[in-house]
Amino acid sequence: MERTLGIIKPDAVSKNVIGKIISIIEENEIKIKAMKMVKLTEEQAKGFYYVHKDKPFFNDLIKFMTSGPVVLMLLEGENVIERWRKIMGVTDPAKADEGTIRKLYGTDIEKNAVHGSDAPETAEYETKYFFNALEVC
């Protein structure tokens, strides 16, 4: 069993597709062990995306991620880090496979509907960044 962090980003929340994305998670035998809807502060978003701080898209990304509420989810399942990334699709929705969440609900390479940790170490950092032990069922 593995754990990863999933986020439904502000574009998907404003498109009213939280339920559709959660359905996809459940259909794929992934368990939601913790979940909350929050509007990130600039400081919280910067801390979360610190690995990208030197990228040219960083400032816009922070603006986007703080533009409205997000849904944070701690996901659990077999091989869930890799499987959730596959279900999401690649970063650019235009290049994502048919049926992936980013293809279905993403807008562009920045506003791409969902987040997923990319490796065991980032999953560990990211799940602990947003959830403490008492919040995990």
Give the active site residues.
Answer: 115
With respect to ligand ADP, which residue has the nearer C-beta, 52 or 137? 52
Which range touches ligand ADP (CB under 6 A), out of 19-27, 75-83, 93-101, 109-117? 109-117
Vertex 24, ends 1 and 89: CA angle to 5°? Answer: 85
Q: Single out the segment in contact with Mg ion by CB under 5 A; choices: 20-28, 32-40, 76-84, 114-122.
A: 114-122
**Binding span for ligand ADP by CB under 6 A among 23-31, 74-82, 112-120, 121-129:** 112-120
Residue 14 engages ligand ADP in binding (rule: CB under 6 A): no
Asked if residues 8 and 18 have their Cβ atoms less than 8 Å apart, the reply is yes
Asked if residue 53 lies in contact with residue 46, where contact means CB atoms within 8 angstroms, the answer is yes
Task: Note whether 57 binds ligand ADP by CB under 6 A.
Answer: yes
Residue number, 39 or 52, with CB nearest to ligand ADP? 52
Count of residues of this chain found to bind ligand ADP when the rule CB under 6 A is applied: 9
**Which token pair is 51?**
């690995």
Which residues would be at the binding site for ligand ADP (CB under 6 A)? 52, 57, 61, 91, 109-110, 112, 115, 118
